[in-house]
Amino acid sequence: MFETLDAVLADAAAHLTRAARDRKSPMHVPVVGTGDGDLRMMVLRACDPDIGLLRFHTDARSPKARQLGSHAVASVLAFDAEAKIQLRVKGSARIECAGPVADAAWAASSPYARRCYLAVAAPGSPAERPMSGLPEAVEGIRPSEEQLLPARENFAVLVIEPVSLDWLYLAHDGHRRAQFTRGGAGQDWQGTWVIP
């Protein structure tokens, strides 16, 4: 089934591009790791066809955004139980609060998604009681464009440019595993089979 490295790379790209556009994809919400050892689930919002760029959305005030800053290493872990494929991706990561990518992502987000960024305090701030952190006026409602204006400054995109990819396929008659690396964004992937 997976006889060539090209077929494996195409499979990895198909999984990740589908994950970004299909909320029912098992890889739609992968685990994202940061250099401090922390992990969290995040919705994958975009992946280009050669796995050159992964995009996630987050709060600019969150601990992960502070940890990543403008240049860091981040990892992504996803599993499709039906296809029996695990993907592990590592790359150079940055948080962008302004610019065309963040602006377009903000413009394409629904009012409910944008409402999260109205939280008065940063994610992870202490709270006196169980609460969303949203201003009362927007709790439980679809906020207006005007109400959403202050949220924009708390919104950021996490961009990861993958430089390594580990693909694992689980099979009764013998697992298969391949690894790919690239020198940097835009360069070709170089692959090799490895023992699972």
Ligand X SMILES: Cc1cc2nc3c(=O)[nH]c(=O)nc-3n(C[C@H](O)[C@H](O)[C@H](O)COP(=O)(O)O)c2cc1C
H/E segment holding residue 100: helix 100-108
Kindly list the residues in this chain that would bind ligand X in the complex (CB under 6 A): 29, 38, 40-43, 56-59, 62-64, 123-124
H/E segment holding residue 158: strand 155-169
Write down the least CB distance from residue 173 to ligand X, Å. 34
3 state DSSP class of 116: helix
Q: 18 vs 28, which CB is nearer to ligand X? A: 28
Write down the least CB distance from residue 67 to ligand X, Å. 8
Write down the least CB distance from residue 115 to ligand X, Å. 14
Write down the least CB distance from residue 194 to ligand X, Å. 30
Query: Which tokens belong to 39?
Result: 């992990």
Q: 55 vs 88, which CB is nearer to ligand X? A: 55
Q: 31 vs 170, which CB is nearer to ligand X? A: 31
CB 118 within 8 A of CB 148: yes
In sequence order, the 6+-apart residues with CB closer than 8 A to the CB of 58 are 42, 64, 65, 95, 156, 157, 158
Q: 41 vs 97, which CB is nearer to ligand X? A: 41
